[in-house]
Amino acid sequence: MAGPSYHMRINKAADRFSLIEIIKRLPKLKNNLDEYTYYGFGGPFLEDMRLIYEFYPEIRMISFEEIRKVFLRQKFHIPCGPEQLTLENCNVTNFIDNLESTDEKSIFWLDYTDLDLICFTDFEKLLNKLSQGSVIKITIRADPRDYWIIPKNIENRRQKSRMIENFRRIFGEYLPRPSAVPSWKSEDFAYLLQEMMQIVVQNSLSADITNLTFYPISSFYYSDSTWMFSITGIIWPRTDFEAVEDAFKDWEFKNLVWNRPIHIDIPNLSTKERLHLQKHLPRERPRGPVLRAEMGHLIDEDIIRTEYALEQYAAFHRYFPYFLRGIP
């Protein structure tokens, strides 16, 4: 995937910090964090593991990485001792297949760079293996450009038709409607993928089978050199939604009832601009017009886009990472 390195993508960083916020609220559900193990795709720099260790050192971690050279790079960047973080050179699907059902609490982040059937089947398997209180976050590609092309001629139109037919053929089992197709709008495409995740939950955790369900906690879509969709939820008794609602009621980005995903679109700002805006935050909505007035200049093409960008910054400013040049 082209673009900035994995750990330096601003919108991705906000999505990553949203998981940190979710973990912080798990004790409200009477879950001790030292009972959890975090499983994720650490990437070459193990950025997720570094943050988990920084904020929640009591949580054990396991990173899975299929590519050998990346795995060896991880061993160089490991942020803590092996008793706290285990590095696995393995395929995540094989890892999930071999995972035993357990009463231990888990936090899984399945972070895929593509949109494949395996994304849904891995999620489905985890739903049937993890215990009450476990958290699953799944991030998948949601780029309309994969399915929509400009029909300049007959062959283009045929190709577009084949692409949509192929989508229905691959994902038909999880489509909410037989007529569903990937939208050319990023927001609608992300929402379709969320509906498909909801179908997985309904099929896997049927009320006839178990008293547990998967309650969504948050869902986002954002550009990360390509469009991505990300949803996080918790496995919890279907009769105790009030407990989940109470635990996350004060969080701005909660999505507890399968509402449409929230857009993350943080603007690029200089450190000087951020420090200037910081003294005017937090504040109640609408924040964009106030911050534009305080800024005194536009950061996008016009006033409307500038105010939208600054509203985004106000919403996610606590999750905005600082990238500084240093002398090694």
Distance of alpha carbon 294 from alpha carbon 277, whole angstroms: 7
Laid out side by side, the sheet with 36-40 consists of 85-88, 60-64, 36-40, 105-111, 135-141, 227-237, 212-223, 262-264
Spatial contact of 105 and 134, defined as CB atoms under 8 Å apart = yes
Sign of CA pseudo-dihedral 30, 34, 36, 40: positive
Report pLDDT digits (tens) over 194-217: 999 999 999 999 988 899 999 999
pLDDT by 10s per residue, the chain, length 328: 445 444 458 999 999 999 999 999 999 999 999 999 999 999 999 999 999 999 999 999 999 999 999 999 999 999 999 999 999 999 999 999 999 988 899 999 999 999 999 999 999 999 999 999 999 999 999 999 888 765 555 556 667 678 888 899 999 999 999 889 899 999 999 999 999 999 999 999 998 889 999 999 999 999 988 999 999 999 999 999 999 999 999 999 999 999 999 999 999 999 999 999 999 999 999 999 999 999 999 999 999 999 999 999 999 998 887 665 555 5
The pLDDT score that the predictor gives to residue 2 is: 47
Report pLDDT digits (tens) over 98-110: 999 888 999 999 9
The pLDDT score that the predictor gives to residue 157 is: 62
| Half-sphere exposure at residue 109, Cβ-oriented, CA atoms within 13 angstroms | 26
Enumerate the β-bridge partners of residue 222.
228, 264
List alpha helices for 38-91, DSSP H: 47-55, 68-77
Burial of 174 (0-12, 13-18, 19+ CB in 10 A): buried
The pLDDT score that the predictor gives to residue 1 is: 43
DSSP designation for 310? H
Distance of alpha carbon 266 from alpha carbon 244, whole angstroms: 28
Distance of alpha carbon 155 from alpha carbon 167, whole angstroms: 18
Report pLDDT digits (tens) over 66-88: 999 999 999 999 999 999 999 99
The pLDDT score that the predictor gives to residue 6 is: 46
**Architecture of the domain made up of 6-264:** 3-Layer(aba) Sandwich (3.40)
Distance of alpha carbon 166 from alpha carbon 163, whole angstroms: 5
The pLDDT score that the predictor gives to residue 150 is: 53
The residue ranges of DSSP E strands in 27-167, in sequence order, are: 36-40, 60-64, 85-88, 105-111, 135-141
Q: Which of 125, 151, 123 is nearest to 137 (CA)?
A: 123
Domains in the chain: boundaries: 6-264, 271-319
